[in-house]
């Protein structure tokens, strides 16, 4: 609850000069914005580290997939060669 009388604001906590309130509110707002920006910076750093970890995991999965593919390809080729030789020498 506020009531204005002249250049003063009467609040439940007591009278305040409007000029002081405006200056304090600007300083408080600037401090609040700085705090918010620090939080955003921390979150972005956390996201960057998470993305880096995900990229590393994806690289590892690709290597594993390539290794398994070549192993499977080798098994298939050896099976085909065995079947063809069995057919030819029968």
**What are the angstrom distances between the C-alpha of 89 and each of 23, 80, 82, 84?**
98, 14, 11, 9
Distance of alpha carbon 11 from alpha carbon 78, whole angstroms: 89
Report the predicted TM-score, pTM, of the whole model to 2 decimal places. 0.52
Mean pLDDT along residues 59-72: 95
Residue 70 has pLDDT above 90, yes or no: yes
Residue 27 has pLDDT above 70, yes or no: yes
């Amino acid at each position: 609850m506020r009531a204005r009388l002249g250049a003063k604001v009467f609040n439940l906590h007591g009278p305040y000069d409007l000029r002081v309130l405006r200056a304090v509110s600007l300083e408080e707002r600037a401090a609040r914005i700085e705090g918010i920006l620090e939080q955003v910076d921390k979150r972005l750093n956390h996201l960057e580290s998470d993305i880096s970890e995900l990229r590393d995991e994806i690289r590892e999965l690709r290597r594993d997939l390539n290794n398994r593919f070549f192993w499977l390809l080798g098994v298939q080729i050896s099976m085909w060669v065995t079947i063809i030789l069995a057919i030819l020498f029968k």
